[in-house]
Amino acid sequence: ARSADKTSDLRNSITFEDSKPTSIGSLIEITSHAKPGQKLVIPPGVHLSGKQRIHGLHGSTDNWIMIEAYDVVIDGNLQVSDCTYLMLTGIEVKNSDGHGIRAGNVCNLTLYQVKVHHHRENGMQLSGKGLKVDHSEVHHVALRNTGGGKAFGWPQCIGTWKMRNGSPSEDVTITNNLVHHCWGEGIDVLWADRALVANNYIWDVYSANVYVDASNRVTVEKNYIRNVDPAYKNTEKQLAKAFVVGAESGRKTTRVYIRNNIVATANMCLNTYAQGKAVITVQFYRNTCWGTWANSPLWVKVSGGTNKVTNNIFVEGAKGQEGGFDGGSAGWRIRQNVWARRKVNAPAYWDKKAWGSRGIRKRNPRVFFKWGPNCDAEPKPMCFALKKRWSRAGALHPPDYKPDGWPLKHK
């Protein structure tokens, strides 16, 4: 079923017809006459190549322009510019030496059920207001860093950037996507205010699954993260870090809320740092971090603000190393977490305070825990139940995860 959206009740639907659809010259020719309130349907089988553009389409709050392009392929890349209230669905963009999709100077742009793959640079780089990427798949991008040869400036699978006037993008929603096999960062919230990253399945990326930098009021929740392919280990032979919060792009990072996520495997669960600017008010809570390779699950290096790590479960790494944290703890509150072993009936430990570098102190066991069906997070597979005592505890393992709405089904 396709998503219900403001475009679903459009009064006018136009089908672009051509006796030889594969001979169509450019996307801008096809779309240039779309009007507010219309749905333009590009027939399946259209194949475009090179640099394609959508430009100058302006809908309104109650009259979006919808371009439906299922089974339409661009062998190249796509630039969307100077558009408002536009929804693009179904298109596939692949195989270029540059970015897959770039959007700039846009307001209220939705990309739905879009496929982007095999690009040398970013999969998607978006700037503007009211940006939404939903139920899309981005994979095998950032190929210029294949093998980890580039030490800095990694491209993104899906990412934001500042607007043309230098101000941050606003009101960003990145939900229900599959993001994988990226030789850079998975989902980047970079120079954006008011952003939501939720219900995404992100696996096998090179540096960080989710990265937040130079942004304000960002919520990252109910994502499932998994890194297992050894090909994507970095030059230090480590898997990607699950969540990284930094301030290296010339602006403070403030009010970041990371909650109700599950990390099945990663090098590190949370890494924070700053270069010249502050990371302030990061709150990391109600997450389950399973199997953080051989490193400690936390690296809380920066100080300032009211940064908190509370009410999480940290399970020992693949090599049996117990949880703990590295780095200075100044400005951080690390409390009411559970540090757990994998073994059957193995005790877990509450932390009472930040205990210093590398590790927890072996206190009397306080809790056993196991996965449970009832909690305050949705969808249900992405949460856990925690009790003070269980009559019998089993071996811990990450829950199975099925992304919401996948596999996609089209008419």
Q: Does the pLDDT of residue 76 top 60, yes or no?
A: yes
CB 287 within 8 A of CB 263: yes
Does residue 322 contact residue 298 with C-beta atoms inside 8 Å?
no
pLDDT at residue 291 in the model: 60
| Cβ contact 226:265 at 8 Å | yes
pLDDT in tens, 262-307: 887 788 888 877 655 677 888 888 887 876 544 445 554 544 556 7
> Measured between alpha carbons, how far is 313 from 40 in angstroms, rounded to an integer?
48
CA distance 38 to 18: 19
Which is more confidently placed, 211 or 278? 211
Residues 65 and 53: their CA atoms lie apart, in Å, by 16
Mean pLDDT of the chain: 76
pTM for the full predicted model: 0.83
Over the range 188-204, which residues count as b (16 or more CB within 10 Å of their CB) and which as e?
Answer: bbbbbbbbbbbbbbbbb
Name the strand (E) or helix (H) holding 67. strand 65-68
Residue pair 214/191 in contact by the 8 Å Cβ criterion: yes
> Can you tell me the distance from the alpha carbon of 55 to that of 39, in angstroms, rounded to the nearest whole number?
16
The yes-or-no verdict on residue 386 having pLDDT over 80 is no
How does pLDDT run across 355-366, given as a tens digit for each residue?
A: 332 333 343 333
Share of the chain above pLDDT 90, in %: 44
Find the mean pLDDT for residues 383-405: 41
Q: How confident is the model at residue 151 (pLDDT cuts 50, 70, 90)?
A: low
